[in-house]
Amino acid sequence: MDIVKSQVMELKKLWKNKRQLTFQALNLAMIVFSALMIWKGLMCITKSESPVVVVLSGSMEPAFQRGDILFLTNLDDPIRAGEIVVFKIKDRDIPIVHRVMKVHEKADGKIEVLTKGDNNRVDDRGLYAPGQLWLQREDILGRARGTLRYLGMVTIILNDYPVLKYVLIGVMGLFVLTNKES
């Protein structure tokens, strides 16, 4: 309880000192904008609109577990069978992480891709948009290039319990605002 009381006291002091409040608010904004710039920088380097994703299901076990963080690239080199790709289906918000089973290269250079989760019995045609039998290159967000095991469980827990997410963000913001530099 002493921590809460001291934070409330610091917040009251901060509210009285408008110059310090402005300084701390700018520090908080700098942290947020730095994170956004890092994300945008990763997007440019990897050529992927989502350079980091969290595995949300067990469909890729044993290769990836639920909660693994994947690092993606979306470079122009050809996609091959056996690679693990992250794709997004039209009118769905959540990307899917699955392995490429078949690649059809057309005469005009375009490719069509069929995917399947390692832990699934059938291919992904049932997941694709109605009438879609193959993924196009533009459906693919990137290829898995690296992983951090289980660290994405934090994201899953915060999405499953949104109140916890808002409390955590509020507490972190409070600490940033009330923290004094020595």
9-67 residue pLDDT tens: 888 888 888 888 888 889 889 999 999 999 999 999 999 999 999 999 999 999 999 99
User: Between these two residues, 66 and 6, which has the higher pLDDT value?
Assistant: 66
Residues catalogued as catalytic = 59, 98, 124
If you compute the radius of gyration of the chain from its CA atoms, what whole number of angstroms results? 22
Q: What is the CB neighbour count within 10 angstroms for residue 20? A: 14
Q: pTM for the full model?
A: 0.80
Q: Which helix (H) or strand (E) holds 44?
A: helix 18-46
Q: How confident is the model at residue 181 (pLDDT cuts 50, 70, 90)?
A: low
Contacts 24+ apart (CB under 8 A), 101-108: 103/78, 103/79, 104/134, 105/78
Show the tokens assigned to 135: 């993924």
And the tokens for 143? 């290829």
Question: By three-state DSSP, how is residue 69 classified?
Answer: strand
**How far apart (Å, rounded) are the C-alpha atoms in residues 66 and 93?**
18
Which are the contacts of 45, defined by CB distance < 8 A and separation ≥ 6?
51
pLDDT tens digit sequence for 90-126: 888 899 999 999 999 989 889 999 999 999 999 999 9
Q: What CA–CA distance (Å, rounded) separates 122 from 129?
A: 16
